[in-house]
Amino acid sequence: QAVCGYGSQDALPFRAIKEGELYFQEDREVNLVELALATNIPKGCAETAVRVHVSYLDGKGNLEPQGAVPSAVSTLTDDLLKYYQHVTRAVLGDDPQLMKVALQDLQTNSKIAALLPYFVYVVSGVKSVSHDLEQLNRLLHIARSLIQNPFLCLGSYVRSLIASVMYCALEPLAASINPLNDHWTLRDYAAMLLSRIFWTHGDLVSGLYHQILLSLQKVLADPVRPLCSHYGAVVGLHALGWK
């Protein structure tokens, strides 16, 4: 049943009291004369909303209760958990041949959709290893494998991947303090990856194009930013194309 008098399009204003962190709803003054003489009489009821009921079938075809998380996505199987552990150890380990095999499988495996948020979380660890170019490169390799896997639907994870890639391209990394570290190549690779994510998965997130351009432009126009950050913005714009 619709509730009469509810459903105003205007947001309710709140005020804070000076004595502490307490907020209260502000009552607006109502001019009764204007209200009485108004020609646009408000409707008595708000628009009726639709309540959706969603149910899932478990692996045996039985109906799971409303609001329950499907068992297929609530827990990882032992095989998936072992796969995740082996791949992350292989990519971040010391054996380059093992890393190559792991990245190749990550790029082609059709049964790892449930692991996507876990691998995206691993890639987001770029901020914690900004002093290690080798690890940064490997995390970007994981991102590239996820992007190129045709069986994965990145969906909302596109934003997180782009944030990690742009961090490698634009931030003054701790590794860039040492002039012997070739962080320029890392920024080139991140820019190329940024372009690939955008052109292959950019339609999954609305407004992504302008968001990326604004971020690159903001860094490029900031005179306080170091040269390496300006360089990252330039190669990022170049990778997106002359248009």
Q: Where are the domains of the chain?
A: 73-240
Please state which CATH number belongs to domain 73-240. Answer: 1.25.40.770
Per the structure block, which two tokens stand in for 180? 């012997």
Confidence bin at 7 (pLDDT 50/70/90): low
- Dist CA 237 CA 218 (whole Å): 12
Q: What is the gyration radius of the CA atoms in the chain, in angstroms?
A: 26
- Dist CA 200 CA 214 (whole Å): 20
Q: What's 1's DSSP letter?
A: -
Q: H helices within 44-115, ranges in order?
A: 71-74, 78-92, 96-108
Residues constituting the chain: 243
26 C-beta neighbours (distance < 10 Å), count: 9
**Packing angle between helix 208-220 and helix 157-170, nearest 10 degrees?**
20
pLDDT cut 90: percent of the chain above it:
41
Strand pairing of 56-57 and 63-64?
Answer: antiparallel
Q: Which residue has the tokens 């969906």?
A: 155
**Packing angle between helix 157-170 and helix 227-240, nearest 10 degrees?**
130
pLDDT digits (tens, 9 = 90+) for 220-237: 999 999 999 999 999 999
pLDDT digits (tens, 9 = 90+) for 26-54: 777 778 887 778 776 656 555 555 555 55
More confident of the two residues 16 and 69: 16
pLDDT at 51: 54
Q: Which residue has the tokens 């914690």?
A: 128
Q: Which residues contact 50 (CB under 8 A, 6 or more apart)?
A: none
- Phi, psi angle pair for 16, to nearest 5°: -100, 140
- Phi, psi angle pair for 230, to nearest 5°: -60, -40
Q: How many helices (H) and strands (E) does the chain have?
A: 10, 4
pLDDT at 201: 83
Per-residue pLDDT at 66 exceeds 80? no
Can you give the pTM of this predicted structure? Answer: 0.67
Q: How many angstroms from the chain centroid is the CA of residue 126? A: 14
